[in-house]
Structure 1
Amino acid sequence: MRKFFVSLLILLWAGIGNAQFTELKEARVGFDPVLPEITVDGENYIFKIEEKYNGEFEKDPVAFLDKYCNIEAFIDLVQDGKTVEYQVEVKSTKGRMKAKYCKEGNLQRVSYRLKNVLLPASLQRDIYSKYKGWNMTRNIHIARGIDGDVQKEYFKIRLEQGDKVQKLKIDVDEIKPIEITSL
């Protein structure tokens, strides 16, 4: 019986010695939405919006603008009755986009210029097959549109091979789709 009590005492002592006590601090719950940083430059409003992940802006700049720039709420906030249109500029590390909205909040014009973006796979394949041995040192993706739709979109590509320089301008409409399988 004595061994039992000694064993029990040792187990209790070991249990208390190994127990971890955590002091909990006060928890605060709040709502902090991601708001763009806005700079006013004359009649232009420049939005600085952080991307959630790398490449989000360059993937589809118009969709990015729609997702992160609630223009109707912005116009309600700054409207003065005299302004007929609002020019918004979104900047990214890859480039910038300019958009013009009417006083009702409808997108009238959009243009963007992105540098050193990932080219579509079919364009990569075409350039590689036609310009073997050349290195692409720079590319620029340029697009312009009206009423939220992009009408003119093209790539400017600079290739170098030693001292030779080749510049290409490729319209997006001319890019062939990728053939995955053939029957």
Structure 2
Amino acid sequence: MKTLIISAFLCLSVTILSAQEIMELDATKLTYAPNSSSVLQDGDSFTYTVSERFNGQFAEDPIAFMNAHFDIQKVIDASKNKNYDSYLVTFKSSNGYLQADFNNKGSLLKTYQNFNNVILPLALRKEMHNTYKGWTLVKTKYNAKTKGDLLVKALYRVKLENGNQRQNLKIDARDQGIGVAVN
């Protein structure tokens, strides 16, 4: 009886194992798009919704982010038959936007940046901590303008609170926190 059960088990095992076929699959391409975006077009204006890997990635350095993840030549080539003089591209994220104006050859003419709740540079945070002891940072805004690659204006607007007291600061970011103007 033992021999019969063992023989049946072995025959069943051999049958199951021999029934397995090797199937060769077709090749598949895998791509990784960490910063995928959605695009809307309205004439010569384009709006890109930026997907960030982490919160504040785009606001940290929006022009470098744009240069690394956007190719204006592809946009120009796609709309070649329309003969636009310039292209206004707006990059939107969860806490602000960058507007970039390009000429018809793809050169950057100017940009405008506007971001809310940005992290201040370390040197500026240290200076504010030492200058405004006991105050709480409530809100930050960052606005900047460039002409080409030259930074023309960069301004942080900071709101501080200490109990019932409130204070609004305007800080020229080009000076890296030197010279704080109080409103």
| TM-score (normalised: structure 2) | 0.76
List gaps (5 residues or longer) in structure 1: 1-8, 178-183
Aligned-residue sequence identity (percent) comes to 25
Number of the residue aligned with 2:110: 109
* Alpha-carbon displacement from aligned partner over 1:20-72 (angstroms, at most 9, x marks no partner): x9x98946512546353210234321012212333321121001111111101
Q: Aligned with 2:119: secondary structure? A: coil
Distance 2:113 2:28 in 1: 39
Contact 2:108 2:149 in 1 (8 A): yes
Matched ranges for 1:1-183 at <5 A: 26=25, 28-32=27-31, 34=33, 35-175=36-176
Change (3 A) 1:176 1:170: closer
Q: Compute the displacement of 1:156 (Å).
A: 0.4
Distance 2:113 2:23 in 1: 50
Change (3 A) 1:41 1:163: farther
Q: Aligned with 2:100: secondary structure? A: strand
Distance 1:163 1:74 in 2: 51
Residue identity matched to 2:52: E
Residue identity matched to 2:29: G
List gaps (5 residues or longer) in structure 2: 1-5, 14-19, 179-183
Distance 2:23 2:92 in 1: 42
Distance 2:118 2:177 in 1: 18
Change (3 A) 1:157 1:25: farther
Runs of 4+ in structure 1 displaced over 6 angstroms?
none
Q: Aligned with 2:81: secondary structure? A: coil
Distance 1:159 1:25 in 2: 65
Change (3 A) 1:27 1:124: farther
Aligned residue pairs total 161
Distance 2:91 2:122 in 1: 27
Q: Aligned with 1:80: secondary structure? A: helix
RMSD: 2.8
Q: Compute the displacement of 1:174 (Å).
A: 2.5
